[in-house]
Structure 1
């Protein structure tokens, strides 16, 4: 494959979106890491991280990055936020790769992966992702405008703890 480079440019990291075993192996063997979606910290720690790391190690590659995509809301209306997410994105459970991940996590759909609650609950969940091996957290804040602003503020304060 041909290459072109801008003077002084650093090649970007390559991350592969993966939740299934085949794609996780490919990501570990060939990429710098993975981006997951709708996964819990437990799934990252028990399945995604080990699968990805084994593949990277077998290929002689460094420990891969794990970016977890999370829908979050600092809110008093946890049920309402989860329903909003189910209404807007619930169709994803129809796709085999996502359905397999929800089944692995014993969940009916992505609304169950939403990180929601008060500041303490959401901060605790963010720390659980870090403890599970997530190197970066990509957060989509949801809820009312007030909830979104509270969520962003909390995430900034949790980030500043590290």
Structure 2
């Protein structure tokens, strides 16, 4: 936010609340005159005949989840387990949506997965490539909640049976859409894609 986009990350929940307050009516083609502490939006963007798109917020902290439930159509999570979705993310999001009179929210979970015989190697690969994310406070708090040292522990890896079981656990936890990033060797990636296609066809 700060280094790449030049936006202050001092109070992200306040910023996303103001952003959504201005954005949602604009997407409906309505005139907006909004002046907040972090942004100003004045004008209208009309596209006759267009349907407003669904708006999802990347949220894992309680404040952001409440805002997503109140003002957006759901959330996109990252590096969360099925148990975390079922016990924390889903209930927090749904309570906020219900209190705001909004429909049941979408929960889009992003998962790193591999059908592989080298579970340790795959997890080390993910740790080497993306382990730095555990340094960010919002992700660190999520790993602490899940009693994990880093994101490599969230990788879904193993044989076809183990990975298929994990995918079904996300669905049972309330995930409406699962975004899977296959990792590992070329063979592992192809096996993972094949498994995901077969699981999808079952549902």
Measure the CA separation in 2 of the matches of 1:158 and 1:5. Answer: 40
Q: Select the residue among 38, 58, 61 that pairs with 2:99.
A: 58
Deviation at 1:11, TM superposition (A): 1.1
- How far residue 149 of structure 1 moved from its aligned partner, in angstroms, is 0.8
Distance in 2, matches of 1:8 and 1:145, equals 44
Shift of 1:3: 3.3
Report the Cα offset of residue 7 of structure 1: 3.1
Q: How many residues align?
A: 162
**SS of residue in 1 equivalent to 2:165:** helix
Secondary structure at 1:66's aligned position in 2?
strand
Residue 5 of structure 1: how far off its partner (Å): 3.2
In 2, Cα distance between the equivalents of 1:125 and 1:145?
A: 21
Q: Distance in 2 between matches of 1:9 and 1:114?
A: 38
How big is the alpha-carbon RMSD for the aligned residues of Structure 1 and Structure 2?
0.8
- The alpha-carbon deviation at position 49 of structure 1 amounts to 0.1
Larger Rg: 2
Structure with bigger RCO (C-alpha 8 Å, 6+ apart) = 1
- Alignment partner of 1:46 is 2:87: yes
More displaced stretch, 4-13 vs 127-136 = 4-13
Deviations 1:15-57 (A, max 9, x none): 0000000100010000000000000000000000000000000
Q: Secondary structure at the match of 1:70?
A: strand
Unmatched 5+ residue regions in structure 2?
A: 1-41
Distance 2:47 2:117 in 1: 50
Deviation (angstroms), 1:9: 1.7
**Structure 1 stretches of at least 4 aligned residues deviating more than 6 Å after TM superposition:** none
Alpha-carbon deviation of 1:6? 2.5
When the two structures are superposed, what TM-score results if normalisation uses the length of structure 2? 0.78
Alignment partners' CA distance in 2, 1:2 and 1:52: 30
Task: Give the 3-state SS of the residue equivalent to 1:67 in structure 2.
Answer: strand
Q: Distance in 1 between matches of 2:74 and 2:62?
A: 14
Q: How far apart are 1:76 and its partner, in Å?
A: 0.4
For residues 104-150 of structure 1, give each alpha carbon's deviation from its aligned partner in whole angstroms, at most 9, with x where no partner exists: 00000000000000000000000000000000001111000111111
